[in-house]
Each structure stands twice: as structure tokens, then as C-alpha cells.
Amino acid sequence: MRVGIDALTVERSGARLVHEVTMEARSGTVVGLVGPNGSGKSTLLRCVYRADRPSSGVVRLDGTDLDSIPEKEGARLVAALPQESGSEFDFSVEEIVAMGRIPHQRSVARTSAEDERLCALALERVGATALRQRSFLTLSGGEKQRVLIARALAQRPRVLVLDEPTNHLDVAQQLEVLHLVRHWGAGREGDGLGGGRGGAQDDVDGRGGGRPTVLAALHDLNLALRYCDELYVISAGRIAAHGPPAEVLDAELLAGVFGVRAHRVTHPGSGAVQLLFDRLPGGGAPPAADGSPANTEARAAGSGHADRASHTTGRTTDTADRTTDTGRTTGTADRTGRAGGSASVTEPVSASGNPLHSP
């Protein structure tokens, strides 16, 4: 499913957090958003899974305005893993994962045998089967993250939104999670969690499966290089550059946007490009509010990145990727405060904050 964001602007309390961003994620691709803290990545993604509403602009799914998609249908199409996910209630791991099936159920239906099968497969896929009877509140940060990814797997979304999906994970788990995201639709044939279109068990509701389109905010630039098809570099709420990761993340841009000196090396095993970082002489600094580097030397080193970004993207640097709104529900996205409140893992909710229904 193609995700498009057109001239999206978000203003809160008189501050413009996202500036007329236009971007597009082609169907089945993994598109990464990278940038300094506070650059607007999370705010942009929240508009895609309907935890927040833009001040202007539109999100489209396969060309359809997200606002026109009914809530429950939107919950079937889009799943989200916010940056901070918690639960105020003592749900078991099985119950958390089963919430991914709620959008596919009738309003009064109980969890079916097929729902249970898909949830068990999702837990197996992330290596969390042994946790199924545990209370979610007793898990470590890494264990919680794996369970929430299993919930998204069980949901069978067409669009997957991930905000720092490797938070709290050790190195091996980071690689495993992003490998899973990258190869989401390559499960065992007929297992119902992905593996092509058209199979008898390919999708519980008959829509057809395949690899979802992924929008992921990442801090680790080497992971972004390895697992993303395309990158959008966000700086002060604007797109600074866009294109294939190895082309976008050059020394000039990294100095200008991130305030670091970067050195490219080749991975001895895979041959992939990897980055090593040093402080800029005099110390680097994140971009200022106007999008320019605060450090004078960084500004000089990165002075050409805006022009190059425009050349790379074929768009102006003030525009960013087109995102899609998912209906008033967050899918299985965690309930999120409308005014800066923290996200919590409960059940899919409508725009008004009311739960759809419990498993």
C-alpha cells in the first residue's frame, strides 16, 4: 500500500513542528526517517497513525484521504509501535498480542481459534512464546518491545509505523527486529502472517497479504543504511535530503544536520557501507530552529546540503514525505495522549479516545 503525505504542517502552542512536508513511501518498501532529536520525526509519524492531526495537509493511503477511511477499516490497514509504550493495566502477554486481532473481529465476537493461531505464530516469530503467560508489566524493556512487535504482526497491517523500534533492545535483538521488519512478508507459506498474496490462508479477512509498507524513525544511522530502501533526513521539521541511504548519508550532510564528522568504511563481511563518527573541531551542535547548524564550522561544512537535497529529491527542501492517515483509530497503536500525554498499551481506540472493544 502506497503512503503519501502532501504539504503536511503541524503547529502546537504557536510553534511549527513540521513544515509543509511532502513525501511518499512506495508499496512494500521500508522508508526510514532520520534526524536529530526534536526534528519532527515522531510528530510526523503520529499523523500517519492518527494519534495526532495535522494543522494542514493530507495523508493518503493508495491515493485515498485517510480522513475518509472509516475507523475500523483504518485500524485494519495501519499498525503502529510508538516510541514509548506502556500499560497501566495488568494484561498478560497473550492478551496484549490478541489486541492486534480486534480490528478484524465483529463488535461482539470473542477471539476465534484462527485469531489464537495467528497470535501464537506472531509470538513464535519474535521469539517470545515462553512469555505468553507473563504479565506485561513484569517484562523488561526489550521483552515488551518484542511483544508489541508480535501484536503488530498479528494485526496483519498494510502499513506499519515504527517510532524507534529498537529502543531497549540489545545489539542482537536490534538486528533481529529490523531483519523481521525487512522480511515481514517472507514467513512460512500459508502461515497467515505473510508470504505472498492469494493463498487460501494468506489473510484472515481476505484482503491479501504481502509485505507491508514500513515507515520507521531510526536513530542508529548504520541500521538505517542496512535495512531501509529509502531515507528522509528531517531537520527542524523540514526535509533536508531524500534518496537511497548510501547516497544521502554523506559527510557534508552529516556535518550540517547532525553536527558530526563522519568516516565511511566498508563492512568486512557484507561489503556494505558503515559510518564512524567523530566530534567536529570545536564541538558539533544540532540544527537551530531555522534548520541551520548552530555550530559555525558545521554550518560551513554543511552549507550545500539543502541545495543537494533539492536536487536529490526533485522537490524543495521544505517538503517532506507524504504519509497516510489510518482512520480515527490507531490500529493496534497504543492509546496516545492528545496533549503530550504518554502512550499506553491498551486496546485500539477511536479519535475520541474510546476503545473499540476488548478481546
Higher pLDDT, 270 or 233: 233
pLDDT at 189: 45
Q: What is the pLDDT of residues 194-226, one digit of tens each?
A: 533 333 333 333 333 468 999 999 999 999 999
d(CA 193, CA 121): 8
Within 8 A by CB and 6+ apart from 47, the residues are: 5, 8, 10, 18, 53, 54, 59, 323, 325
pLDDT of residue 90: 86
Q: What is the domain partition of the chain in residue ranges?
A: 3-237, 245-312
Asked whether 232 and 33 are in contact (CB, 8 A), the reply is yes
How far apart are alpha carbons 252 and 301 in whole angstroms?
Answer: 6
CA distance 148 to 155: 11
Q: Where do the DSSP E strands lie in the chain? A: 3-12, 15-25, 30-34, 56-61, 64-65, 78-81, 159-163, 213-217, 230-235, 238-243, 260-266, 273-279
User: What Cα–Cα distance (Å) separates residue 81 from each residue in 78, 153, 161, 273?
Assistant: 10, 11, 6, 28
Task: Name the architecture of domain 3-237.
Answer: 3-Layer(aba) Sandwich (3.40)
pLDDT for the residue numbered 164: 92
Q: Between these two residues, 34 and 185, which has the higher pLDDT value?
A: 34
* Per-residue pLDDT reduced to its tens digit, 304-345: 444 444 334 433 333 333 333 333 333 333 333 333 333 333
pTM score above 0.85: no
Residue burial 192-211, b: 16+ Cβ < 10 Å; e: rest = bbbbeeeeeebbbeeeebbb
Determine the average pLDDT of the residues in 230-249.
Answer: 96
DSSP assignment of 295-319 equals: SHHHHHHTTTHHHHHHHHHSS-TT-
pLDDT averaged over every residue in the chain: 77
Is the pLDDT at 264 greater than 60? The verdict is yes
pLDDT at 253 over 80: yes
The pLDDT score that the predictor gives to residue 346 is 32
Q: Give pLDDT tens digits for 92-116.
A: 999 999 999 999 887 656 788 899 9
- Each residue of 50-71: pLDDT tens digit? 999 999 999 999 999 999 999 8
Report the DSSP beta bridge partners of residue 238. 235
Q: How large is the average pLDDT for residues 264-287?
A: 83
Mean pLDDT for the stretch of residues 125-133: 92
Q: Which has the higher per-residue pLDDT, 278 or 306? A: 278
- What's the rounded Cα separation, in Å, for the pair 139 and 306? 44
Q: What is the pLDDT of residues 144-170, one digit of tens each?
A: 888 999 999 899 999 999 999 988 788
One-letter amino acid for residue 183 of the chain: H
User: What pLDDT score was predicted for residue 287?
Assistant: 52
186 — pLDDT class (breaks 50, 70, 90) = low
Using alpha carbons only, give the angle 275, 279, 281 rounded to the nearest 5 degrees: 130
SS (H, E, C) 173-195: HHHHHHHHHHCCCCCCCCCCCCC
Q: Report d(CA 24, CA 159) in Å as an integer.
A: 13
Average pLDDT over residues 25-32: 95
Pairing of strands 30-34, 230-235: parallel
What 3-state class would DSSP assign to 104? helix
